[in-house]
Structure 1
Amino acid sequence: EDGKYLRRDLYISAGVLSPTPSEGALEIDITGKFVYPGFVDSHAHLIGTGRKSLEVNLEDCNSIESLAERLEVDREVVRARGWDQEVLGFMPVREVLDSITTRPVILTRRCGHIATVNSPLIKLFSLEGLHGLDGSDIELGLLKERALEELDRKIKLSPGEVERAIHAGTQAFLKYGVTAVHSDDYHGIDYELLMQSLSSTTNMRIYEKFCVSKEEQLDLIKLGQQFETPFFNLRAAKLYLDGSLGARTAAMISPYHDSPAERGVLYMTADELRVIVKKADREGIQVCVHVIGDRALEEALKAFEGSVSESLKHRLIHVQIASEEQIKRMADQKLTASIQPIFADSDRIIAPERFGPLRMKDAYPFGKMRDMGVQLALSTDSPVESTSVIRSLTSADRFFSRRDSIQMYSSNGHILANNTDSISLKYGDRADLFVINVDLLKATQDTPAEMTFVDGRLVYRL
């Protein structure tokens, strides 16, 4: 209690916690350290996180000279991620990219919902037909939402790239004591390769949310359950209803304050989503819906009316703006939510511009959601944000007590996956845990774990 709970008899035997050591067991002295159950990132992209570390990093890129220097790499197709027009100072459109490189390049914005490409890449993959899709403009080399997904289908990952991305992504989470991830990975990769690759992972527990856009694609989830292991779970569908705030593709009821001609991109209506929800209810599949704007949220709430959300824990992901009336309906429908409090810090400049002063009172309504009875779990949406636990906890301090945030980052993450296994470091609990040299009830400085264990195995050491 209050950070003073001590356990001096912590042993691991056959993958679970035991009151006594097993014969010949390795002993590790953790005197003075803190031990916590493994954390759960309730919404992220494992492969995307790994890919970020393998691609050109454009975070903090703030000039055309810096951009040109970073793109000067010898690759057949240069993939880069992390730019933000607010930091860069300009939009890296086709004309700009053509002036600094002759290599085919794809620059994905930090949010992952918009990208820019140059003329060599447009020619290489014949992208002219994507003009106009979700506001994409080929003349500008600007791809948005589903046009970007189409590009991913044209440039699929190889088995080697997938293997390297999963390894890098896993290490990025384990570094901070995250032992389970609700992941969304069906992007630019063949189905069989995805199933085989994720089901081969044993150093992390993966709750996969399989990305679908049509009712019949739910069958791929049932088919994929043959690949399940103790470390790979496939029981949820992920759907996009809108885009991102930074790209102005989040679907809004009223126009954007800083761009009155735009209201974002709505992927499907409530009627279209309801068909998918009803089949998912029949099949026992959890539905997780990406909603950032209040218009997308409204369509989701209508679609979930009458669903079996209480038993399946149907979920809303993000919810960056919501009225009190909408939050009440979330609670009444027993919907759960994966939220990213760190977005409130990352968006501190653009949010007031996008929403305007009147709507800011409804922005990032996480505390109100909790108070009104919506069950929440924390997440990073990595690679959009860092996998760092303490960064997310510090951002969450403005909404919740640190103790509540830790619960949302650990046990709630398993609950939202309909997993009722205990992870409270009691005897008999599975040994998913991490050791760190700071008290997470107080820590604010970014600190990695010293050791992380999954199923009793040491899978990461600083």
Structure 2
Amino acid sequence: MGTLLYNAVIYTMELEGEQVEALYIEEGKIVDCGSSKRLLEKWSRQASRARNLNGAFIYPGFVDSHLHLIAHGQKLLRLDLSQSTKKDALAKLEAQSVQDGEWIEALGWNEHNDPDHALLTVTDLNKISINQPIFVMRICRHAAIVNQNVLDLAGIDRFTPDPKGGKIERDEHGNPNGILHDAAIQYVQAVMPPLSKASVKKALQTAINDCHAKGLTGGHSEDLHYYNGLAETVDIYQEVVNEKKPFRAHLLIHHEELSAYDASPYTQQQALSPYVEFGALKIFADGALGGRTAALSEPYEDDPSTSGLLIHNQTALYDLVYQARKRQLAVAIHVIGDQALELALTAIEQNETVNQRDRLIHVQVAREDLVQRMAKLPIVIDVQPHFVVSDFPWVEERLGEERMSFSFAWKTLLETGIHCAGGSDAPIEPIEPLKGMHAAIFRKNDQGTYNVKEALTPYEAVALFTTGSAYAIEKEATRGKVKIGYDADLTILDRDLFRGGEEAFSQARVLETIVNGYTVYEKGGVTE
């Protein structure tokens, strides 16, 4: 007994523009698809449910190829500064009510939302409190701002050296100014109170409910290092993601969790359930453009004193890829700057391949020679189109005109034959896949339109979040299309994304989200 959906416009994503009118689902699989007339005649007696979709538009389930699910849930539950000016942010921090000794924490701070691009510093946070620890994570999650109380707790002073792969910003007298980059943040995280399992579980539940409401049937998430380690986080995923709350969770393994992974019972099994599975080994090669820690081959245009920050040198990066290969794992390497990209490509080229696809995450700044090297490798690039909306126009000043022709250059990647998958990097960018698709096609924000030669077609943009995300994890034969034998993961909208123009992407509403044949969201609320 199954479910028959008919009288719909169903885009298969098998070929551009290919449509069917109906599909039949049994035991989580698409058993048949075609015309409403034929499927009604064939399956209506056998179906336990026959549903008239009244012309709604069905797509293969949208999947976010790069996000941080638990952190997204925390953003929804905690103080979020992602839309705040400096004045607003300080007012919100001061309004936080905590007990003596408790930490005041906030996420999402972005100085580019301030009309003066004013930075938060230790001086600003000290005015709120010198007795309560204050910790503010920048939106990129590669920088944090803390008050003097936290600097003291972490033992950071003018004599503390920059850690390998990190930076402590200092004032003109050499004293820490409260801004910490990448590995330097770990000094503070080591003295922060551990998160309870219940709070992490609540964050994951909140995130998945939000994903369902946004039309997402799955996501490739990087969470396994930050919430009391791999073992506890995997337990939480298995408790939350199941038949009652189905979601295709593909979990990257942080390279600092390799020992925990080796000690776990999971080394011989990628899939832990129909909904939770392990993926590639996640490695960070550099930082982010916002804090000028993305590693560039030439100095930053707006600050020639720096070319960014490499988290690992070439030897260390090679060794991490080698460690992955010893365990028959692919790698997923965070690379934003072209210098980091060059080192990552060299490390991959010098190691054996495995039966999984390596992934390069972000690739915001490239060069023509590096694009050609990528095209020769069996890799996937995870792109996050919404960064165009957030990073322009300030990123043009940061990188300079000469670098822009191969920056945020997704059309070039696709036309060179490089496979790409689409994601959000939530909570850094909005999690809505429709916003990501809109950014990939129209490449604009309220200040202008940027490098339109790199704009994708609607079909290419939707493919990033369907066939592209499936290909990235070797699921192209079972997911990413509406096709007989494929998983019944579907996103149902009220708009035609291929014929509705820009308004379709900006105005479309999610009517229903289906995972493994189960309706997990219907317009009006998450289905429990």
Calculate the TM-score normalised by the size of structure 2. 0.81
Shift of 1:192: 1.8
Aligned residues of 2:225 and 2:256 also touching (Cα < 8 A): no
Structure 2 counterpart of 1:407, one-letter code: A
Aligned residues of 1:292 and 1:321 also touching (Cα < 8 A): yes
Shift of 1:13: 2.5
Partner of 1:434: 491
Query: Whole-Å Cα distance in 1 between the matches of residues 85 and 136 of structure 2?
Result: 14
Partner of 1:58: 81
Q: After superposition, give the CA deviation of every residue in 1:40-72 in whole Å (9 maximum; x if it has no partner).
A: 111111111111111101122114255323541
Structure 2 counterpart of 1:148, one-letter code: I
Task: Mark the CA change 1:17 to 1:116 in structure 2 (over 3 Å): closer, same or farther.
Answer: same
Shift of 1:275: 1.8
Structure 2 counterpart of 1:192, one-letter code: A
Query: Whole-Å Cα distance in 2 between the matches of residues 4 and 192 of structure 1?
Result: 44
Partner of 1:135: 167
Q: Please point out which of 374, 392, 406 is paired with 1:362.
A: 406
What secondary structure sits across from 2:203 in the alignment? helix
Within 5 Å, which residues of 2 pair with 1:147-296? 147-155=184-192, 156-190=194-228, 191-200=230-239, 201-202=241-242, 203-213=246-256, 219=262, 223=266, 228-296=272-340
Of the two structures, which has the highest relative contact order with CA contacts closer than 8 Å and spacing of 6 or more? 1
Query: Whole-Å Cα distance in 1 between the matches of residues 297 and 324 of structure 2?
Result: 27
Structure 1 counterpart of 2:189, one-letter code: D
Deviation larger for 245-254 or 199-208: 199-208
Q: Please point out which of 176, 182, 192 is paired with 1:145.
A: 182
Shift of 1:320: 0.8
Q: Does 1:99 align with 2:127?
A: yes
Aligned pair count reads 461
Task: Mark the CA change 1:66 to 1:192 in structure 2 (over 3 Å): closer, same or farther.
Answer: closer
Query: Whole-Å Cα distance in 2 between the matches of residues 221 and 413 of structure 1?
Result: 27
Structure 1 counterpart of 2:168, one-letter code: S
What secondary structure sits across from 2:296 in the alignment? coil
Partner of 1:405: 461
Shift of 1:386: 0.6
Shift of 1:117: 0.9
Partner of 1:350: 394
Task: Mark the CA change 1:283 to 1:69 in structure 2 (over 3 Å): closer, same or farther.
Answer: closer
Partner of 1:114: 143
Aligned residues of 2:224 and 2:251 also touching (Cα < 8 A): no
| Pairwise CA RMSD | 2.5
Deviation larger for 61-70 or 268-277: 61-70
Partner of 2:446: none
Partner of 2:25: 12
Structure 1 counterpart of 2:150, one-letter code: L
Query: Whole-Å Cα distance in 2 between the matches of residues 126 and 26 of structure 1?
Result: 63
Query: Whole-Å Cα distance in 1 between the matches of residues 185 and 96 of structure 2?
Result: 22
Shift of 1:215: 6.9
Structure 1 counterpart of 2:379, one-letter code: L
Task: Mark the CA change 1:454 to 1:27 in structure 2 (over 3 Å): closer, same or farther.
Answer: same
Task: Mark the CA change 1:367 to 1:309 in structure 2 (over 3 Å): closer, same or farther.
Answer: farther
Aligned residues of 1:286 and 1:314 also touching (Cα < 8 A): yes
Structure 2 counterpart of 1:168, one-letter code: T
Aligned residues of 2:154 and 2:187 also touching (Cα < 8 A): no
Aligned residues of 1:44 and 1:181 also touching (Cα < 8 A): yes
Query: Whole-Å Cα distance in 2 between the matches of residues 222 and 258 of structure 1?
Result: 49
Q: Does 1:48 align with 2:71?
A: yes
Structure 1 counterpart of 2:232, one-letter code: L
Unaligned runs of 5+ in 1: none
Partner of 2:56: 33
Deviation larger for 200-209 or 59-68: 59-68
Task: Mark the CA change 1:318 to 1:291 in structure 2 (over 3 Å): closer, same or farther.
Answer: same
Aligned residues of 1:212 and 1:218 also touching (Cα < 8 A): no
Deviation larger for 411-420 or 370-379: 411-420
Aligned residues of 1:225 and 1:234 also touching (Cα < 8 A): no
Shift of 1:362: 2.2
Q: After superposition, give the CA deviation of every residue in 1:161-201 in whole Å (9 maximum; x if it has no partner).
A: 11111111112222222111111002431222111012231
Shift of 1:415: 1.4
Shift of 1:18: 4.0
Aligned residues of 1:177 and 1:452 also touching (Cα < 8 A): yes
Unaligned runs of 5+ in 2: 1-10, 33-42, 170-174, 442-451, 524-528
What secondary structure sits across from 1:181 in the alignment? strand
Structure 2 counterpart of 1:414, one-letter code: A
What secondary structure sits across from 1:32 in the alignment? coil
Q: Please point out which of 363, 386, 394 is paired with 2:430.
A: 386
What secondary structure sits across from 1:136 in the alignment? strand
Task: Mark the CA change 1:420 to 1:349 in structure 2 (over 3 Å): closer, same or farther.
Answer: closer
Task: Mark the CA change 1:461 to 1:101 in structure 2 (over 3 Å): closer, same or farther.
Answer: farther
Aligned residues of 1:310 and 1:333 also touching (Cα < 8 A): no
Shift of 1:151: 3.1
Q: Does 1:84 align with 2:90?
A: no
Query: Whole-Å Cα distance in 1 between the matches of residues 420 and 66 of structure 2?
Result: 12
Shift of 1:221: 7.5
Name the structure where strand makes up a greater proportion of residues.
Answer: 2
Task: Mark the CA change 1:62 to 1:228 in structure 2 (over 3 Å): closer, same or farther.
Answer: same
Query: Whole-Å Cα distance in 1 between the matches of residues 258 and 487 of structure 2?
Result: 36
Aligned residues of 1:321 and 1:364 also touching (Cα < 8 A): yes
Task: Mark the CA change 1:122 to 1:330 in structure 2 (over 3 Å): closer, same or farther.
Answer: same
Q: Does 1:444 align with 2:474?
A: no
What secondary structure sits across from 1:317 in the alignment? strand
Aligned residues of 1:309 and 1:335 also touching (Cα < 8 A): no
Query: Whole-Å Cα distance in 2 between the matches of residues 106 and 298 of structure 1?
Result: 34
Task: Mark the CA change 1:220 to 1:351 in structure 2 (over 3 Å): closer, same or farther.
Answer: farther
User: Percent of pairs identical after alignment?
Assistant: 28
Task: Mark the CA change 1:37 to 1:21 in structure 2 (over 3 Å): closer, same or farther.
Answer: farther
Shift of 1:238: 0.3
Shift of 1:126: 4.4
Shift of 1:213: 4.5
Query: Whole-Å Cα distance in 2 between the matches of residues 224 and 348 of structure 1?
Result: 42
Query: Whole-Å Cα distance in 1 between the matches of residues 260 and 286 of structure 2?
Result: 19
Query: Whole-Å Cα distance in 2 between the matches of residues 56 and 28 of structure 1?
Result: 42
Shift of 1:121: 3.0
Query: Whole-Å Cα distance in 2 between the matches of residues 127 and 185 of structure 1?
Result: 27
Shift of 1:294: 0.7
Shift of 1:365: 2.0
Q: After superposition, give the CA deviation of every residue in 1:281-335 in whole Å (9 maximum; x if it has no partner).
A: 2422010000000110111111111434474211111011111111100111222
What secondary structure sits across from 2:224 in the alignment? coil
What secondary structure sits across from 1:451 in the alignment? strand
Shift of 1:150: 4.3
Shift of 1:33: 1.0
